[in-house]
Amino acid sequence: MAWGACIAALLLLLLAAAGGGNGGVHCLEEGSRSRGRRALQGRHHLRSRAVAGATVLELRHHTFSSAPSKSREEEADALLSSDAARVASLQRRIETYRLIGSSPDAAAATGTSKAQVPVTSGAKLRTLNYVATVGLGSGEATVIVDTASELTWVQCKPCDSCHDQQDPLFDPSSSPSYSSVPCNSSSCDALQVATGSVSGSSSSSPACGGAAAACSYTLSYRDGSYSRGVLARDRLSLAGEAIDGFVFGCGTSNQGAPFGGTSGLMGLGRSDLSLVSQTMGQFGGVFSYCLPLKDSGSSGSLVLGDDSSVYKNSTPIVYASMVSGDPLLQGPFYFLNLTGITVGGQEVASSSGFTTASKVIVDSGTVITTLVPSIYDAVREEFVRQLAEYPPAPAFSILDTCFNMTGLREVQVPSVKLVFDGGVEVEVDSGGVLYFVSSDSSQVCLAMAALRSEYETSIIGNYQQKNLRVIFDTAASQVGFAQETCGYI
């Protein structure tokens, strides 16, 4: 049987790893992937609970079941095209933040509470992003977990123009704790500071008819998607942990393929209105996640707070320092310095080397890791050299390094390690190295892509963060990594 051969190969791999091997076996049996997808589609309500003083949210991939039937290739093309649009949008935003001149007053806050929330794959809601369910007012909302967003927003009644979603629309009239945010408020000012000067890809233009009028917002993205509505307050519930007066966007006009069937976005970026900043008192500016493999059928988790005792990491946590500098100039992004990459144990060398130009952001909302051309070319060259036994296949969408692996039951995947400041090494899960375009494995691609220019910023996407515990500690200005087989903890 195919699985028997694969299990045997995995056992051999474990023995090799004990002796210093550097690779991974990827099983190519289509039946198992289909079973994983069917199991995934049967579950969409995401759990949350408090464990050992931490708040845990279940994370999952989501695919929107009401979408027209598409082939695997068509679906992959749509998702990767959307991902490319997001990357272009992020590049525009990063560049614009560099041009912002002044910095807002830093808010000093501390906290020691912890909370945990389940995180899931977004495959069921037609996106390769990850989603979690939170309580808002008297209802629930399933939202995309996004570390590059400044503001949490959901679709609201009455909705002038909204994308389809699996949960009922948020109804402000049914929530006694709901209130709109007036224009003459610090939150409305913070909204403009966070996004008002960012033109082209994400913009906000609070429109007011008077000081007491509701603060309205418009968030638009380069791929044409957008959310418009008013800034509001309501009670946010995270595994029983209540955050009263949580500021969010109540969107009455929202459109965009990236949102799939979700209710909106959870903003986990570094800005005054993000969930991280607004819960500083409860969770101390620390959160982490573990993102499951799309077809594994398992859930990941989003942990709010610094209680590492709830993690299930199999390796020690290693921390890389965030790039220091003016927080406003860096926007909501989590920047690290990438100092090297190894492929199958071989360190790659780019034409420009790994210098300050190799600053990267760690992003949960981007799927495929994108690298500046000189670094990507070096990775590609080494990858092709090590997989020379497999015939090449045509490029697909943004993926240009593809192979024909038809008829194979498993393939030895070269290990990929990312190296950050201080010699911090992070190994990419073998399931995050290859992207299977076709169900018959006739088109299997390196799951990385090149940016257009050396002057753009590399992005570590969620496809390469799978089965890792990634810890964002804004108080200590560091990002931690550890191996972890993701499961709802």
Domain boundaries, the chain: 115-199+208-282, 308-483
Give the per-residue pLDDT at 220: 77
The pLDDT of residue 328: 63
Distance CA 489, CA 469 (A): 12
Decide if 307 is catalytic: no
Cβ-contact 59, 249 below 8 angstroms: no
Following DSSP, what letter does each residue of 356-376 receive, concatenated?
A: GGGEEEE-SS--SEEE-HHHH
Q: Do 115-199+208-282 and 308-483 have matching folds?
A: yes
Which residue is catalytic, options 272, 307, 363, 429?
A: 363
Catalytic residue among 146, 223, 234, 295: 146
- pLDDT for res 184: 84
Asked if 327 and 98 touch (Cβ cutoff 8 Å), the reply is: no
3-class DSSP state of 72: helix
- Taking the C-alpha atoms of residue 263 and residue 260, their distance in angstroms, rounded to an integer, is 9
473 given a catalytic annotation: no
Quick one: pLDDT at residue 369?
96
Beta carbons of 213 and 182 less than 8 angstroms apart = yes
What CA–CA distances, in Å, run from 308 to 252, 286, 316, 416, 477?
39, 11, 11, 26, 17
Q: Are strands 458-460 and 468-473 parallel, antiparallel or unpaired?
A: unpaired
Nearest CA to 134 out of 64, 54, 47, 52 is that of: 47
d(CA 142, CA 135): 9
pLDDT at 297: 67
**The dihedral of CA 155, 266, 365, 96: what is its sign?**
positive
CB neighbour list of residue 12: distance below 8 Å, 6 or more residues apart:
25
What is the distance between the alpha carbons of residues 191 and 182, in angstroms, rounded to a whole number? Answer: 12
The Cβ-side half-sphere exposure at 254, using a 13 Å CA radius, reads 29
Architecture of domain 115-199+208-282: Beta Barrel (2.40)
Both tokens assigned to 258 = 């990236």
Q: How far is CA 55 from CA 134, 167, 233, 237, 283, in A?
A: 11, 22, 21, 10, 9
CA distance readout (Å), 48 to 105, 134, 237, 392: 34, 8, 10, 45
Task: Please provide the DSSP assignment of 291-334 as one string.
Answer: BPPTTS---EEEEESS-GGG---SS--EEEEPPPS-HHHHTT--
* 8 Å CB contact between 302 and 143: no
d(CA 396, CA 140): 38
Tokens describing residue 426 = 């992070």
- The tens-digit pLDDT sequence of the chain (489 residues) is 444 434 333 323 333 333 334 466 555 543 333 333 333 333 356 777 777 667 788 887 765 444 456 788 888 887 788 888 888 878 877 877 766 543 433 333 333 345 555 555 544 444 457 888 999 998 999 998 999 888 999 999 998 888 888 889 999 999 999 999 998 888 888 877 655 433 223 344 445 555 568 898 888 765 677 889 999 999 999 888 899 999 999 999 988 766 778 899 999 998 889 999 999 999 999 999 998 876 666 778 899 998 898 899 999 999 999 998 766 667 889 999 999 999 999 998 765 556 544 889 999 988 999 999 999 999 999 999 999 999 999 999 999 999 999 988 778 889 999 999 889 999 999 989 999 998 888 999 999 999 999 889 999 999 999 999 999 999 999 999 999 988 776
Q: Say if residues 22 and 15 touch (Cβ distance below 8 Å).
A: no
The answer to whether 332 and 194 have CB atoms below 8 angstroms apart is yes
52/114 Cα distance (integer angstroms): 8
Q: Which residues pair with 448 in a beta bridge?
A: 369
Q: Which CATH architecture has domain 308-483?
A: Beta Barrel (2.40)
Per-residue confidence (pLDDT) for residue 147, from 0 to 100: 93
What is the three-class DSSP state of 195?
helix
